[in-house]
């Protein structure tokens, strides 16, 4: 989310500058100046609000969720009645699956 957020706000800032420049070139500086100032302030306030609300969490959230799932999976494996033979730690393992199904040939 963070990188999309930056792209969106860079696009907004660029659009504000471009539209203000077009207004100046069309001989409407009395509209271009207030537009530039007001829209830049509004966009900056929203940018800071979004940054303060989402950025820190969204950068580390996938890692945190993965850690939580790993801890839950380890606890479930340790508390289950399924015998552990050492081969249970393969990718996408669910402790309720029968490992014999993975080892058998069809």
* pLDDT 10s digits, 53-98: 765 555 566 777 777 777 887 777 777 665 555 555 554 555 445 5
In degrees, to the nearest 5, what angle opens at C-alpha 4 toward C-alphas 39 and 66?
140
Whether pTM > 0.75 for this model: the answer is: no
SS3 content of the chain, % helix, strand, coil (to 5): 75, 0, 25
CA distance 51 to 48: 5
Chain CA centroid to CA 8, Å: 14
Q: How far is CA 35 from the centre of its chain?
A: 31
């Amino acid at each position: 989310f963070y990188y999309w957020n930056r792209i969106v706000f860079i696009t907004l800032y660029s659009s504000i500058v471009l539209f203000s420049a077009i207004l100046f070139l069309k001989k409407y500086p009395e509209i271009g100046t207030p537009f530039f100032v007001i829209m830049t302030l509004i966009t900056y306030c929203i940018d800071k609000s979004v940054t303060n609300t989402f950025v820190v969490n969204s950068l580390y959230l996938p890692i945190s969720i993965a850690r939580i799932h790993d801890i839950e999976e380890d606890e479930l494996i340790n508390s289950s009645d399924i015998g552990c033979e050492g081969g249970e730690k393969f990718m996408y393992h669910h402790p309720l699956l029968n490992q014999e199904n993975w080892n058998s040939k069809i």
